[in-house]
Amino acid sequence: MNLLKNRTTRRWFGLGPAVATIFFFMVIPIGIIVVYSFLEANPYGGVKPNLSFEAYIQFLFERDFDDSVIFNNAYLIICWRSFYLAALTTIFCLLIGFPTAYYMAMQPPSRRNVLVFLVTIPFWTNLLIRTFCWILILRDNGLVNNFLMGAGLIENPITLLYTNGAILLGLAYTYIPFMVLPIYSTVEKLDISLLEAAHDLYSNRRQLFRWVILPLAAPGIIAGSLLVFVPSLGAFIAPDLLGGGKKLMLGKLIQLQFASSRNWPFGSAIALILMSVVLIAMMIYALGPARKTNMH
């Protein structure tokens, strides 16, 4: 009995710092956001201690001059743009990241370390500086337009900056390492004998990829997709700088509510809606392997 108590005590002492960190830096802030979303906004910032569902109503409706409620799809358009660009970013990163990760995993061990090092180099520079560099590249008198005009391919600058394409490019550049590394860690553990066996059974490259490589790399693909999609959905810097404030996404919308609009309840409500969508996606991912295990 004493041995069991000692093990329990040691376990709690070991988990204590992690539990305290999660409680103080995640649970309490989320609890504050939940409470704020159900309070009344103070015009000068902050909240009034009055129960109100106005923040959630405002997401889909607006009040007319006679205080009647009418449907407003402005915020739904911003949500759609956020999901659309986040999904495109994930697909773009996957199309580039999977071949890159597979190539890295097929190299000799000494070369793999160098390639992983090269993939992680962008993390050594501040994200804000890297995003500003894309402004210098994409603006009307930037590197791309100067090159095209110098080569005689165009006469006038092409509008590249402050578009959805610029935001997509910035997001993909920022998060592509989060796609490459999980896939690489999965493909690196792939048993080469399985590939040789598939070749011995006369499978072509398409069949080898479809029935051997892709199923074994699926955990890394799913993990990488989540690591790209979730932060892209709430990204702030790339949409703000490369979109020029003209292409709002959820991250920028939330920031505006806490800054210039001073509507803290509405900002909290949007943050909770975004968090709920992310949690649903994570639950689907977590329950997927468990469901397959039970079926087997």
Amino acid, res. 143: L
Judge whether 295 lies within some domain.
Answer: yes
236 and 103 fall within a common domain? yes
If asked whether residues 116 and 217 sit together in one domain, one would say yes
Closest CA to 221 of 268, 174, 260, 187: 187
Rounded to whole angstroms, the Cα distance separating 250 from 82 reads: 6
Q: In 108-262, which ranges are E strands?
A: none
Compute CA distances 123 → 19, 32, 118, 185, 224, whole Å: 28, 32, 10, 18, 17
Question: Which 3 state secondary structure label does DSSP give 40?
Answer: strand
Q: Does residue 77 form part of some domain?
A: no
Q: What was the pLDDT predicted at 32?
A: 92
8 A C-beta contact, residue 166 and residue 137:
no
Q: Does residue 60 form part of some domain?
A: yes
Residues 98 and 162 in one domain: yes
How far is the C-alpha of 101 from the C-alpha of 62, rounded, in Å?
Answer: 48
Q: Do 270 and 143 have their domain in common?
A: no
Number of folded domains that form the chain: 2
Phi-psi domain of 249 (left: phi exceeds 0; alpha: psi -120 through 50; beta: other): beta
- Residues of the domain holding 62: 1-72+265-296
What is the pLDDT, as a whole number, of residue 3? 54
Same domain for 109 and 158, yes or no, is yes
Please name the amino acid found at residue 115: L
Q: What is the pTM of this model?
A: 0.84
CATH number at residue 121: 1.10.3720.10
The answer to whether residues 98 and 205 belong to one domain is yes
123 and 257 inside one domain: yes
**DSSP conformational letter for 202:** T
d(CA 246, CA 250): 13
Say whether both 2 and 130 belong to one domain.
no
Phi and psi angles of residue 233, each rounded to the nearest 5 degrees, phi first: -65, -35
pLDDT at residue 66 in the model: 73
Token duo for residue 99? 């071949």
pLDDT of residue 171: 94
Per-block mean pLDDT, blocks of 10 residues, the chain (296 long): 64 78 89 92 86 90 79 89 93 94 89 90 88 90 89 87 91 94 90 72 76 86 91 89 84 88 91 87 68 48
